[in-house]
């Protein structure tokens, strides 16, 4: 494989992954609101060109009916297809939770392995665009807590391409969360990016003083903070978790043991958030081996606010990461 790279953004990478997957496997389907070219190829254009190339039967726009979307995806998956279903925004998964949780995630188990539900749910979310309380929530913790569905939140375009290729061929349901900025920021991406296995974290920067773990668009914030920490003489090892469930315990534990400190940062609410599971596991496995408690940063306990000023205060920002990393680094 060539190691040539091009600049592309997440949107282009997902589009390329869907194109390749549909080309290679006639069982791959795409459905969702406005996703066909007749409707403009998706509200932000992720699915542009697919229906023109693969036809209206494999790439179907739907009514506004998330239960119907997920139901159609589940049935088609059980019949041998590999549907990629879009739930436009993560807050709208709330109207499809029965289909996702009681059915997609459970039918393999409840049928004793007779039913396979190899589908992918694509959904977009994230604060930062003043869309307020019903359009920007991160609910990955709900799905991580639900047995039978995998949860993926990529950061880079290369990961989007590689993780989508894997998720589509995965025999089980996978929800992939596209977080705002990750769709639009161009990055160097291998031209021939192939599948990247689910469940593997990526150590994006080595470090010695503290491990900082994050995923999705929050990685941009973390990278900014890490640069400033380096200037302050603190060497952070940065982990992009990529798959939140099942998560890569091995990589995370090895890094936390090495640096002796772990800080988990996510955009989801801190209370009962994904970071709690990571902290709980790490404190147990590395009991007595850490120099500081596992730190967590996440959204405060409130809805996403509208006003830009409040939205900025709501989101974890570099100074908060820096302060917390320094506090932990000073311990032990």
Partner 1 sequence: MTDTLTNRAVPDAATQLDIYRRMIRIERNDDATRTQIRRGRITAPYYSARGQECIPSAISVLLNDDDKICTIYRGIHDMVAKDMPLRPLWAEICGRVDGTCKGKGGPMHLTHPETGVMVTTGIVGSSMPIANGFAWAALLDGTKQVTVAYFGDGASNIGAFHEALNLASVWKLPVIFVCQNNGFAEHTRYENGTSVDQISKRAIGYGMPGYTVDGNDPLDVYAHAHAAIERARSGEGPTLLECKTFRFMGHVFGDADGYMTKEEKAEAMADDPLPKFRQKLIDSGVATADQIDEMTAKAEAEVNDAIEFAMSCEYPSDDELRRDVFAEEIPA
Ligand X SMILES: Cc1ncc(C[n+]2csc(CCOP(=O)(O)OP(=O)(O)O)c2C)c(N)n1
Q: Which residues bind to its own copies, rule: CB under 8 A?
A: 91-95, 97-98, 101-102, 105-106, 109-110, 132-134, 139, 141-142, 144-148, 245, 268-269, 271-277, 279-280, 283-285, 287, 292-296, 300-303, 305, 331
Select from 217, 261, 215, 253 the least CA-distant residue to 235.
Answer: 261
In the range 219-278, which residues lie near ligand X by CB under 6 A? Answer: none
Contacts of 279 (CB under 8 A, 6+ apart): 262, 264, 293, 294, 296
Question: In three state form, how does the secondary structure of 183-213 look?
Answer: HHCCEEEECCCCCCCCCCCEEEECCCCEEEE
The Cα–Cα gap between 217 and 178 comes to 9
Checking phi first, is residue 199 left (phi over 0); if not, alpha (psi -120 to 50) or beta?
Answer: left
Asked if 60 interacts with partner 1 (CB under 8 A), we say: yes
Give the integer Cα–Cα distance in Å for 283 and 179: 29
Least spacing, CB of residue 94 vs ligand X, in Å = 8
Q: For residue 269, give the DSSP letter.
A: E
Residue closer to ligand X (CB basis): 106 or 242? 106
Question: Residue 235 touches which of partner 1, ligand X, its own copies, none (CB < 5 to 8 A by kind)?
Answer: none
Using DSSP bridges, classify how beta strands 120-125 and 82-89 pair: parallel, antiparallel or unpaired: parallel
Phi, psi angles (nearest 5°) of residue 29: -125, 160
Q: For its own copies, which is the closer residue by CB, 27 or 296?
A: 296
Tokens of 38: 């007749």
- Judged by CB under 6 A, the residue of 19, 44, 95, 310 near ligand X is 95
Indicate which single residue of 13, 50, 70, 212 sits in contact with partner 1 (rule: CB under 8 A): 70
- Nearer to partner 1 by Cβ, of 61 and 221: the residue is 61
Instruction: Give the residue, chosen from 227, 300, 319, 332, that forms a contact with partner 1 under the rule CB under 8 A.
Output: 300
Is the Cβ of residue 158 or residue 175 nearer to its own copies in the bound state? Answer: 175
Interface mask (CB under 8 A) for partner 1, residues 152-191, using x and -?
-------------------xx-------------------
Q: Is 103 a catalytic residue?
A: no
Q: What is d(CA 112, CA 95) in angstroms, rounded to the nearest whole number?
A: 27
Binds 284: which of ligand X, partner 1, its own copies, none (CB < 5-8 Å by kind): its own copies
Question: How distant is the alpha carbon of residue 239 from its chain centre?
Answer: 14
Site for partner 1 (CB under 8 A): which residue of 18, 21, 50, 73?
A: 73
Cβ proximity to partner 1, 88 vs 234, nearer residue: 88
Q: Does 143 bind ligand X (CB under 6 A)?
A: no
Phi/psi for 212 (5° steps) reads: -115, 125
Residue for token digits 């996403």? 304
Give the C-alpha separation, 8 to 17, whole Å: 13
Contact call for residue 102 and partner 1 (CB under 8 A): yes
In the complex with ligand X, the residue whose CB is nearer, 51 or 214, is 51
Given 103, 135, 145, 266, which residue is catalytic?
135
Residues lying near ligand X in the complex (CB under 6 A) are found at 33, 64, 66, 88, 92, 95
Catalytically annotated residues:
135
């Amino acid at each position: 494989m060539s190691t040539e790279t091009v600049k592309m953004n997440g949107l282009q990478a997902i589009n390329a992954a869907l194109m390749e997957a549909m080309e290679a496997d006639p069982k791959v389907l795409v459905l969702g609101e406005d996703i066909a070219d007749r409707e403009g190829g998706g509200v932000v254009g992720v699915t542009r060109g697919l229906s023109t190339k693969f036809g209206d039967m494999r790439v179907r726009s739907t009514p506004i009916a998330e239960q119907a979307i997920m139901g159609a995806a589940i049935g088609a998956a059980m019949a041998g297809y590999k549907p990629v279903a879009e739930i436009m925004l993560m807050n709208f998964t709330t109207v499809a939770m029965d289909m996702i949780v009681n059915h997609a995630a459970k039918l393999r188990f409840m049928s004793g392995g007779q039913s396979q539900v190899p589908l992918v749910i694509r959904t977009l979310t994230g604060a930062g665009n003043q869309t307020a309380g019903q359009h920007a929530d991160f609910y990955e913790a709900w799905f991580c807590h639900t047995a039978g569905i995998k949860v993926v939140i990529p950061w880079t375009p290369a990961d989007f391409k590689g993780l989508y290729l894997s998720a589509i061929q995965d025999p089980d349901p996978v929800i992939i969360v596209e977080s705002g900025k990750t769709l639009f920021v161009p990055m160097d991406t291998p031209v021939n990016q192939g599948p990247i296995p689910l469940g593997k974290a990526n150590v994006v920067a080595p470090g010695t003083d503290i491990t900082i773990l994050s995923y999705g668009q929050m990685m941009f914030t973390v990278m900014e903070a890490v640069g400033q920490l380096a200037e302050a003489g603190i060497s952070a090892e940065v982990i992009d978790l990529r798959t939140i469930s099942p998560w890569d315990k091995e990589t995370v534990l090895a890094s936390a043991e090495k640096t002796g400190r772990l800080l988990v940062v996510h955009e989801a609410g801190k209370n009962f958030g994904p970071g709690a599971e990571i902290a709980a596991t790490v404190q147990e496995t590395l009991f007595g081996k850490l120099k500081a408690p596992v730190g967590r940063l996440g959204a405060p306990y409130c809805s996403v606010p509208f006003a830009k000023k409040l939205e900025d205060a709501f989101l974890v920002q570099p100074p908060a990461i820096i302060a917390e990393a320094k506090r932990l680094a000073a311990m032990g």
